[in-house]
Structure 1
Amino acid sequence: MGKPPNLFSFPDSDELAKSLRLFVLDAQNQAFERHNTFRIAVSGGSLPKVLAKALIPSGEGTCVFSKWHIFFADERAVPLDHEDSNYGLLKAELLDKIPAEMGQPTVYPIDTKYLDDVQEMADQYEQTLVKAFAARDSVKIPMFDLILLGCGPDGHTCSLFPGHALLRATEAWVLPISDSPKPPPKRITLSLPVASHGIKIGFVATGGGKKDIMRQIFDTEEGRALPCGLVNSNAQERVTWFTDYPAVEGVTFPVRRGSL
């Protein structure tokens, strides 16, 4: 058995953002030592706004965005300028706010030619990963330098939902979903093996609305079978959670309060 995930909690969003910045920069710098690029997968929801708060202000360390390669942990089958697009959200909250002198990352959105065929969209996005991570037959599972995820009120992450058949998929890197219980129904998502395989994995979960699901994920057997709980179990100490105090109210799992 490895060590359990790291669960950090902070008094406010400013303190959370400071520690998230250090976490991301540490992942970036380690990646540069390995291959001089930083391959990161991000999800949508509230994460892009938190990420912008962490990365855009000048602070400790330097984000070398010109060496970043940003992929999407999941995406909705909508145009890139649609309000439900994770790419559109990341562009508005983070990418458009990066000062020119900090450089611009290389970003890999979905191919919108396939909006009406989510299986083909998933296959095409998997091919994007194949090109970025080497030939499919030489890499069993792509290992991102960092995967940044959110936690839904039902314990879902990416577009992997509780009890869904996609949780049992083991071969594909990217999966289609056409019956998402949360709209829009058509999406693509990293598979659970890929979402659990990052060198570092960070979750951001804030607000009192998350306390019930956080208690489930960390304190119950049933919660460990939820998508977020499965990532915790699969990746163990490679996972670090960034929360605020209201989100972990009542959690008995050891919570580290304050900075990393």
Structure 2
Amino acid sequence: MTNERRVLVHPDADALVAAVSARFLTKLTDLLDEHHEANVVLTGGTLGEAVQKAVATSPMRSAIDWTRVHFWWGDERFVPKDDPDRNEVQAREALLQHLPTAEDHIHPFPASDEIEDIDAAAEAYAQELRDHADPALRLPVPRFDITFLGVGPDGHIASLFPEHGVTRDGQDLVVSDEDSPKPPPRRLSLTLPVINSSQRIWMVLAGTEKASALGLALAGASPEEVPVAGAEGRLRTVFFIDGDAASHVPADLIASQY
């Protein structure tokens, strides 16, 4: 498989959100023409929520058979089930409550009031991944068709932080963290190999504070120092960014179209 890495620049955050949501619905239509089901990995954060709200309110939404879509998460804060810090809570309010997706097609990480031990929670989610594994992949995980990722100013993706145990190899599917550098400190995350098993990785970022991390990632920084540098989908890796985040991106890496 050939991996394509592209950077698409949009004028501002609003245009960025509109473009990503429309592209997502178009690609999901194509995927469901090709496959019986599709697997989408959601992310949290301000832009993640904005894209989810845009999808929920788009007229294109009605063209999708959402009963054939599975939703997963790249990471989660290990807090109680109804805690607003949870990415799941955000996604349900912004998007999932508006879709006819069956509950058994929604795969959230365990909450701290469901499984008390964080390591046991990590193993439970790893088992959920194994239960839906695609045997064609190099890891026992589902075929993630589109994985959304936000990017922090420090270059973190999911809950994989700089100098905090990010590895390119290893067979762990899910990792737990009791002392994340960003609150809340207790977190669960897919590992980098699992993220990179995705067919497509779509990273959505905006603002000048993200420019340095993006520039370092595109310049080939170490994933241990800048985790986003290690994100690489099997088919395609796309950075959807606004003009403010583009200040450190070489002109020859900016694509004119998708």
User: Is this a same-fold pair by TM over 0.5?
Assistant: yes
Q: Distance in 1 between matches of 2:25 and 2:53?
A: 13
Do the aligned partners of residues 81 and 216 (structure 1) sit closer, same or farther apart at CA in structure 2, a change above 3 Å counting? Answer: same
Q: Distance in 1 between matches of 2:61 and 2:67?
A: 18
Do the aligned partners of residues 104 and 237 (structure 1) sit closer, same or farther apart at CA in structure 2, a change above 3 Å counting? Answer: closer
Is residue 104 from structure 1 mapped to residue 94 from structure 2 by the alignment? no
Is residue 127 from structure 1 mapped to residue 124 from structure 2 by the alignment? no
> Is the 1:48–1:90 Cα contact (8 Å) retained in structure 2?
yes
User: What secondary structure sits across from 2:28 in the alignment?
Assistant: helix
User: What secondary structure sits across from 2:180 in the alignment?
Assistant: coil
Give 1:255's aligned residue: 254
Give 1:244's aligned residue: 242
> Is the 1:166–1:175 Cα contact (8 Å) retained in structure 2?
no
Query: Which segment drifts farther, 50-59 or 147-156?
Result: 50-59
Do the aligned partners of residues 4 and 210 (structure 1) sit closer, same or farther apart at CA in structure 2, a change above 3 Å counting? Answer: same
CA deviation string 1:88-145 (max 9, x = no partner): 111122223x2xxx5235311233345531110010011111122268x995454311
Is residue 68 from structure 1 mapped to residue 65 from structure 2 by the alignment? no
CA deviation string 1:220-259 (max 9, x = no partner): 535795211011xx437611111111111232152235x5
CA deviation string 1:32-51 (max 9, x = no partner): 24541111111211212223
1:16-35 alignment runs, 5 A limit: 16-35=16-35
Using the TM superposition, give the Cα deviation of residue 19 of structure 1 relative to its aligned residue in structure 2, in angstroms: 2.9
CA deviation string 1:157-206 (max 9, x = no partner): 01111122242551111111111111111111101001111111100001
Q: Distance in 2 between matches of 1:163 and 1:146?
A: 27
Give 1:147's aligned residue: 147
Query: Which segment drifts farther, 121-130 or 57-66?
Result: 57-66
Instruction: Give 4+ residue runs of structure 1 displaced > 6 Å after superposition.
Output: none
Report the TM-score when normalising by structure 2: 0.85
* CA RMSD across the alignment: 2.9
Query: Which segment drifts farther, 119-128 or 17-26?
Result: 17-26
Where does structure 1 lack aligned partners over 5 or more consecutive residues? none
Give 1:217's aligned residue: 217
The one-letter amino acid paired with 2:36 is N
> Is the 1:150–1:158 Cα contact (8 Å) retained in structure 2?
yes
The one-letter amino acid paired with 1:65 is W
The one-letter amino acid paired with 1:90 is A
Q: How many residues align?
A: 253
The one-letter amino acid paired with 1:238 is R
Report the TM-score when normalising by structure 1: 0.85
Do the aligned partners of residues 172 and 114 (structure 1) sit closer, same or farther apart at CA in structure 2, a change above 3 Å counting? Answer: farther
User: What secondary structure sits across from 1:165 in the alignment?
Assistant: coil
The one-letter amino acid paired with 1:71 is W
CA deviation string 1:71-99 (max 9, x = no partner): 11101111122121010111122223x2x
